[in-house]
Amino acid sequence: MLHVLFLVLTAAASSSQAVANDPVTHLFSSKPLSEERSVSVYLPAGYHASQESYPVLYILDGRNRTHDTLTITRYLAERRQAPPLIVVSIPHTGERRRDYLPFDATSGAANPGVAAFGSFLADELVPWVDGHFRTKPHRLLLGHSLGGLFVLHSLIAYPDLFRSRLALSPSLHHNPKLVNALAEALDGKKTWNSRIYLNIGGMEFAPIRTQFARLQRVFAEHAPAGLAATFQTFPHDGHSTTPFVGVYSALKAQYVLLRPSLEQMKQILDEQTLPAYYQQLSSAFGYAVTPDYRDLADHWSFFYFQQEDAATAAKLAAAMKHYYPDRIDSGDAAFVAHWDRHGMTTAYPDDAAKPREAFVNRFGYAFLERGRVAEAVFVLETNTRLYPQSANAFDSLGEAYQKAGRNRAALTAFQRAVALAERAGDENLALFRSRCQRLSRQLAETPR
């Protein structure tokens, strides 16, 4: 049996806060560029309500790329597939070749405009963002087409400025010399703590695909240890659609290691390498990385209820207690310990620590979902004893009674739920009434 302090699904996921549509906009009088450049900073949901710091994603060609990228980053963050990001949009001024092409397309000479734009990023923009917002030391740079060339060039010119890079359909046919320059730069490094994602569409212009294949060979043959490169081809996409699918895939590729799958987590726990795993991630991302509490709780629920793997569940519970000691509810833990020790045969003591209503409710439904109706009834009856004024507790118990074929008892529970909901003005009153009326009609139509 599992004797652990534990909290599963401690609280319902908080509703995501609305993100202001208006970004923070700043106009630079750039010395390197000898011109004014405007940038816009989009803050993630909850930024102003917390003291958290966030990774920063810098977008080249911001006027074209920002809307879709914001949609994707927020979608992934809301679903915990990637961390919330500060997004910095850098619109171009019409001089994309001046800012993004590392080499002159005709002469092959180094382009001074790229050096000026790089200096604007490194010496003006990044320090201003870090000075005005709560940022983590994990910067990402995103560029498409010509912007993708600058992303690749940044590996050479500014190797430590960005920890991650996203080069989407880089137009290498304009600068094939860049592939050779990258080979030389990569050969000069022994280790490199950095990540890069590159993609291309299968429907793109043939010269782009040819140079992309050359680039793949360069990374395969010259990339130093620690430089993680991900190449992806989308066979049915062209140059204009690779950014949308690429941003989603790139961010997933960047952050997938932060959320080990069920099988990966079990292996990590079996090998007793959980601290080492997250220490390695912390080194890769440049800031302290810890397992997400809800992931641990979801994994715990899977191994405890679905797999009945008490050993793995115990290890997960220990991890929750280690990483999140303040989030372990003593009542919830006491309830789990009681169930482990006595099973569903002994009533939960009135003088024991009181578990949360939502926790016990979730506990009961976990048994219902697995067809263990007797245990579900026991748990949900306990909840109504602990919370006799809760309409939801009686409604849940009614569902368990129905599953057990005890429809008369279910109707009584539903009626109690309706009465309590009416008294409290419960927002779920209509739902409770509907269930009660439906079962009442069903019983009236059943021959005695």
pLDDT score, position 447:
63
Residue in 140, 144, 40 with CA at minimum distance from that of residue 82: 140
Residues 6+ apart with CB under 8 A from 284: 193, 195, 257
Top-level class of domain 329-445: mainly alpha
Q: List 99's β-bridge partners, or say none.
A: none
Residue in 391, 399, 381, 393 with CA at minimum distance from that of residue 429: 391
Q: What is the tens place of the pLDDT at every residue in 230-241?
A: 999 999 999 999
pLDDT score, position 341:
86
- 3-state SS class at 14: coil
Q: And the tokens for 429?
A: 């009153």
Q: What is the tens place of the pLDDT at every residue in 129-174?
A: 999 999 999 999 999 999 999 999 999 999 999 999 999 999 999 9
Starting at the edge strand that comes first in sequence, how are the strands of the sheet with 24-30 ordered?
A: 24-30, 35-42, 86-90, 54-60, 135-144, 164-168, 191-201, 225-234
> Is there a contact between 59 and 89 (Cβ–Cβ < 8 Å)?
yes
- 20 — pLDDT class (breaks 50, 70, 90): very low
Query: How many whole angstroms separate alpha carbon 43 and alpha carbon 40?
Result: 10
What 8-state DSSP symbol labels residue 44?
A: P
pLDDT score, position 17:
36
- 4 — pLDDT class (breaks 50, 70, 90): very low
- 301 — pLDDT class (breaks 50, 70, 90): confident
User: What percentage of the chain carries pLDDT values higher than 70?
Assistant: 95
Query: How many whole angstroms separate alpha carbon 5 and alpha carbon 223?
Result: 46
pLDDT score, position 8:
36
- 448 — pLDDT class (breaks 50, 70, 90): low
Summary mean pLDDT of the chain: 90
State the pTM of this model: 0.79
Fold held by 31-258: Rossmann fold (3.40.50)
Q: What is the tens place of the pLDDT at every residue in 67-92?
A: 999 999 999 999 889 999 999 999 99
pLDDT score, position 21:
58
> Is there a contact between 102 and 181 (Cβ–Cβ < 8 Å)?
yes
Q: Give residue limits of the domains in the chain.
A: 31-258, 329-445
pLDDT score, position 398:
97
228-266 burial, b if ≥16 CB within 10 A, otherwise e?
A: bbbbebbeebebeebbbbbbbbbbebbbebbebeeeebb
> Is there a contact between 437 and 400 (Cβ–Cβ < 8 Å)?
no
Residues 6+ apart with CB under 8 A from 443: 407, 408, 411
Query: How many whole angstroms separate alpha carbon 234 and alpha carbon 204?
Result: 10
- 22 — pLDDT class (breaks 50, 70, 90): confident
* DSSP, residue by residue, 80-147: TSS---EEEEE---S-HHHHH-SB-TTT--B-HHHHHHHHIIIIIIHHHHHHHS-EEEEEEEEEETHH
Query: How many whole angstroms separate alpha carbon 114 and alpha carbon 92?
Result: 13
Altogether, the residues listed in the chain come to a count of 448
For residues 284-289, average pLDDT: 92
pLDDT score, position 344:
77
